[in-house]
Amino acid sequence: QVQLVESGGGLVQAGGSLRLSCADSGHTFSSYTMGWFRQAPGKEREFVATITWNGDSTYYANSLKGRFTISRDNAKNTVYLQMNSLKPEDTATYYCAARRGGLNIARREYDYWGQGTQVTVSS
């Protein structure tokens, strides 16, 4: 069973940084590919980044490459999203998700989701 809880969101000024965390209280975290998605008000949930079970491979939304970094620590059952040079358009609720299998950018391919953490970037 996978139970995901995000943390680390908040209010930050444009140009600032935040690191989001997503912890799994289950015992199979290292078996799963993990992803981060985000949803802004009035918009669909969109893909941000994904990482394989062992951290060897990652993939990012093109528009976020160079600013966002996904990583994981299987010993802590936690996946991270480091966000730098934040912009007001990064304002959204950020969700982590888990799936069996390889990297995937489609939200329908993820089986487990957290409740989300709010990130607000002021101009």
Instruction: Give the pLDDT of residue 27.
Output: 77
Buried b (16+ CB within 10 A) or exposed e, 40-59: eeeeebebbbbbbbeeeeeb
> What does the pLDDT look like over 61-113, one tens digit per residue?
999 989 999 999 999 999 999 999 999 999 999 999 999 999 999 999 999 99
Q: Give 21: exposed, middle or buried? Use CB within 10 Å, 0-12, 13-18, 19+.
A: middle
> What does the pLDDT look like over 34-74, one tens digit per residue?
999 999 999 999 999 999 999 999 999 999 989 999 999 99
What pLDDT band is residue 1 in, cutting at 50, 70 and 90? confident
The secondary structure of the chain in percent helix, strand, coil, rounded to multiples of 5, reads: 10, 50, 40
Write out the two tokens for 9. Answer: 């969101």
Instruction: Give the pLDDT of residue 28.
Output: 87
